[in-house]
């Protein structure tokens, strides 16, 4: 085995003399030095962590980094609180004002607040505990993003609807369904609770009754599309249901004659039939209903029976002349 040389001071001669050291001896010393270093390091870490409760430098650094990120996420959550409250306010105004004006259905809460279905979008966070702020912030940010998207789409729909606002005025059922000639009709039963004329039981009357002779012309009270035409022995008898859009529908019941068919486009003032006594009726009359967004409303709030007769007749005559319907020849204005 090769030997290593080293110089050693001789205290007697005060000279440096060569001393030979075997490689084996040198290797043993190195091993012992490394082992001693490891042992001392282990004792140091044991004393620092278990005895004195100190943390390793890397642990301290990681904790500081983690604390900074938690502070940022807490700030982000406080900002999202503000954005969420603002979105909620926008949603309330959207449903109760903007969409209501144009007769649009409100957006259900389950749509506004819906999460994300399908695959697990947060599989990469499964390693975190359920109460992890990182997990909750990620989920909340996704939900807030979707709520913002839903609200944005709602405003797009309202914008498109607002461009049709001019059409809305002609679609609202704003005129009487029969000519306002007081010598030809009588308001026999208003909207609201009343004693049923057949059973005598108190019951909600969902429309307005115009008592008049059979054959009196009945006119569409607003532009719209004929949704259905029914011929029943009981109930409404011969009736017409018109969808005016913007949330409005009207029904004309107990007719003698019906001049329209399902799917037909109508203008306000077009004749749709004649009053009669069909269905569940105690006498000839027109039962007229107005529905807004699926609920019955008082028709009296929409028409004005004091409307001048000549003005009403002029409207009917003009519409009859301009009508493109095949059966327009049978539409006769009030005389």
3-state helix, strand, coil in the chain (%, to 5): 40, 25, 35
Backbone torsion region of residue 162, taken as left when φ is above 0, otherwise alpha when ψ lies between -120 and 50, otherwise beta: alpha
Q: Report the helix count and the strand count for the chain, using DSSP H and E.
A: 7, 14
Q: How crowded is the C-beta side of 68, counted as CA atoms within 13 Å?
A: 5
Nearest of 287, 83, 35 to residue 185 by alpha carbon: 287
100 pLDDT band (50/70/90 cuts)?
A: confident
DSSP states of 313-329 as a string?
A: HHHHHHHHHH---GGGG
The answer to whether residue 334 scores a pLDDT higher than 60 is: no
Alpha carbon distances (Å) from 8 to 5, 17, 18: 10, 5, 6
- Looking at residue 117, its pLDDT comes to 54
Percent over 90 (pLDDT), the chain = 35
- Looking at residue 308, its pLDDT comes to 92
- Looking at residue 332, its pLDDT comes to 46
SS3 of 307, please? coil
Calpha distance 253→209 (Å, rounded): 10
Calpha distance 71→264 (Å, rounded): 64
- Per-residue model confidence as pLDDT tens digits over 139-157: 888 888 888 989 999 988 8
SS3 of 246, please? coil
- Per-residue model confidence as pLDDT tens digits over 211-221: 999 999 999 99
Higher pLDDT, 66 or 249: 249
**pTM of structure:** 0.59
The answer to whether residue 36 scores a pLDDT higher than 80 is: yes
Nearest of 43, 35, 39, 2 to residue 21 by alpha carbon: 2
Higher pLDDT, 19 or 173: 173
Structure tokens at 197: 């004329």
Q: At what angle do helices 57-93 and 133-162 cross, to 10 degrees?
A: 20
**Residue whose structure tokens are 């003698």:** 256
Longest dimension (CA), the chain: 151
335 pLDDT band (50/70/90 cuts)?
A: very low
Alpha carbon distances (Å) from 190 to 177, 201, 209, 297: 14, 16, 6, 12
For 266, residues 6+ apart whose C-beta sits below 8 A from its C-beta are 220, 223, 224, 225, 226, 242, 260, 272, 325
Q: Facing residues of 289 across strands? A: 251
The answer to whether residue 115 scores a pLDDT higher than 70 is: no
Mean predicted lDDT score pLDDT of the chain? 84
- Looking at residue 173, its pLDDT comes to 93
- Per-residue model confidence as pLDDT tens digits over 271-284: 999 999 998 888 89
Calpha distance 30→24 (Å, rounded): 10
Calpha distance 317→270 (Å, rounded): 9
**Could you count the other beta carbons within 10 Å of the beta carbon of residue 191?**
20
Calpha distance 19→5 (Å, rounded): 6
The answer to whether residue 131 scores a pLDDT higher than 70 is: yes
**Could you count the other beta carbons within 10 Å of the beta carbon of residue 94?**
22
- Per-residue model confidence as pLDDT tens digits over 51-87: 666 666 777 788 889 889 889 999 999 999 999 999 8
Nearest of 109, 79, 77 to residue 91 by alpha carbon: 109
Calpha distance 52→43 (Å, rounded): 12
- Looking at residue 288, its pLDDT comes to 97
- Looking at residue 33, its pLDDT comes to 87
Cα 308 to chain centroid, rounded = 43
Most confidently predicted of 104-113, 180-189, 222-231 = 222-231
Q: What is the DSSP letter of 209?
A: E
Nearest of 249, 221, 253 to residue 239 by alpha carbon: 253
SS3 of 180, please? coil
The answer to whether residue 134 scores a pLDDT higher than 90 is: no
- Per-residue model confidence as pLDDT tens digits over 310-331: 999 999 999 988 876 645 444 4
Structural contact between residues 184 and 130, judged by C-beta atoms closer than 8 angstroms? no
């Amino acid at each position: 085995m090769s030997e290593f040389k080293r110089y050693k001071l001789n205290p007697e001669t005060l000279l440096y003399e060569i001393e030979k050291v075997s490689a084996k001896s040198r290797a043993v010393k190195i091993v012992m030095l490394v082992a001693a270093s490891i042992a001392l390091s282990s004792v140091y870490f044991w004393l620092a962590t278990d005895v004195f409760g100190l943390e390793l430098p890397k642990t301290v650094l990681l904790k500081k980094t983690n604390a900074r990120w938690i502070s940022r996420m807490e700030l982000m959550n406080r900002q999202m609180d503000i954005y969420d409250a603002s979105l909620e306010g926008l949603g309330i105004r959207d449903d109760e004002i903007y969409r209501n004006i144009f007769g649009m259905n409100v957006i259900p809460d389950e749509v506004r607040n819906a999460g994300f279905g399908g695959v697990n979008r947060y599989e990469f966070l499964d390693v975190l505990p359920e109460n992890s702020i990182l997990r909750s912030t990620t989920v909340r940010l996704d939900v807030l993003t979707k709520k913002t998207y839903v609200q944005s789409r709602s405003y797009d729909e309202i914008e498109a609807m607002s461009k049709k606002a001019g059409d809305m005025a002609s679609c609202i059922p704003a005129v009487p369904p029969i000519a306002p000639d007081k010598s030809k009709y009588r308001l026999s039963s208003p909207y609201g609770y009343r004693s049923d004329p057949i059973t005598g039981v108190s019951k909600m009357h969902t429309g307005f009754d115009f008592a008049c002779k059979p054959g009196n012309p009945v006119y569409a009270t607003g532009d719209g599309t004929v949704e259905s035409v029914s011929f029943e022995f009981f109930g409404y008898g011969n009736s017409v249901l018109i969808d005016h859009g913007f949330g409005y529908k009207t029904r004309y019941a107990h007719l003698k004659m019906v001049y329209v068919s399902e799917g037909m486009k109508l203008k306000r003032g077009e004749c749709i039939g004649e009053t009669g006594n069909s269905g569940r009726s105690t006498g000839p009359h027109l039962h007229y209903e107005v529905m807004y967004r699926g609920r019955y409303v008082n028709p009296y709030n929409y028409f004005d029976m004091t409307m001048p007769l000549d003005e009403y007749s002029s409207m009917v005559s003009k519409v009859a002349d301009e009508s493109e319907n095949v059966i327009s020849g049978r539409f006769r204005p009030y005389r």
